[in-house]
Amino acid sequence: MGLSAIQAAFARARAENRPALMPFWTLGYPDGETSLRVIEAIARAGADMIELGVPFSDPLADGPVIQHASQTALEHGITVRQCIELARALRRRGVSIPLFAMGYLNPLLAFGEEAYVEAWREAGADGFIVPDLPPEESDTLGRACAARDLALVQFTAPTSTEARIALAAARATGFIYVVSVTGVTGARDRLAAGLREYVERVKANAQGKPVVVGFGVSKPEHVREIGQFADGVISASALIRAAGEAPDPAQAAYEFVKALRG
C-alpha cells in the first residue's frame, strides 16, 4: 500500500478519463459501527480513495456539518486510538483502496509524531492530511511518513502566493490538496469563480504530483467540471449531510457516492 497504491488509484482514474474520487467520512459518526458500514459502502460505490476524519474539538478548517459530526463522535467517546482501530477494522472487512487519516495537529502531537504515523501504518493507512500543519513545520512528520512510504498531503488556498504554492508542492507527497474557496468546508451550489485558473497555477508548480480539489464539492456536475482540469476531487460535507441522519446511513452514502462517480 502507501504511495504506490495512491499512485495506482490516480492512474486508474486517469485511464478512465475521470478525476479520482475521494469522499470523506468522520470516524465514529454517528457511532463506530455505523461509520464502518458507511465507509464500506463508500468503497463499494466506486470511491478511489477515502479520507478518514479523526474527530477533534476545534476543527478550524471545517464548517458546521463536519463540526457536528466530530462533536457527535467525541460525545460518544471516540479517541485517536479508537479511530486507528476502526481503520484496522476496515482493512479486516475488505476495504482495500487507499485511506488517508485526516486529523488536526494537537492530537497528533499529543500522540507523538513518530508513534502516530507508525500506529496508522500498522492499521493500514496510506497517508495523512493535517490541515493546520504549515509546510515549513512538516519536516519531522514528513520524514516519519517518507521512512514508511506513506503520503503527507500539503494544501494550497486561493490566497496562496506563487512562492507558497511552490513550497507546498515541493513538500507534498501523495497529492496536493487545493482548497477551492477562502473559508471552511461546506457544500456549495456552485464552484468558485476562477477555480480552473487557480488549479492551473497549482499544476504549473506541482512537479507532476496529482492536484485534488476539495471544499464545496457537492454535486455530480461539480465532479465532472473539476475533472476537466484537476486529477481528483474530495466531497465531505454534502455526503455527511445526505447520509449522516438518513434512516440507513450506509445506503444513503452508497447512493450519494455512486451518483458522484457517475
Residues marked active site are found at 51, 62
C-alpha cell at 17: 478519463
Quote the CA–CA distance of 97 and 47 in Å, as a whole number. Answer: 8
Quote the CA–CA distance of 117 and 95 in Å, as a whole number. Answer: 20
Amino acid sitting at position 174? G
User: 57 burial class (0-12, 13-18, 19+ CB within 10 angstroms)?
Assistant: exposed
Q: CB of 88 within 8 A of CB of 124?
A: yes
- Cβ neighbours for 54, distance < 8 A, ≥ 6 positions apart: 27, 80, 83, 101, 102, 103, 104, 107
First to last CA, the chain: 26
Nearest-10 Cα torsion for 242, 246, 251, 256: -10
Sequence length of the chain is 262
Beta-carbon-side half-sphere exposure of residue 148 (alpha carbons within 13 Å): 26
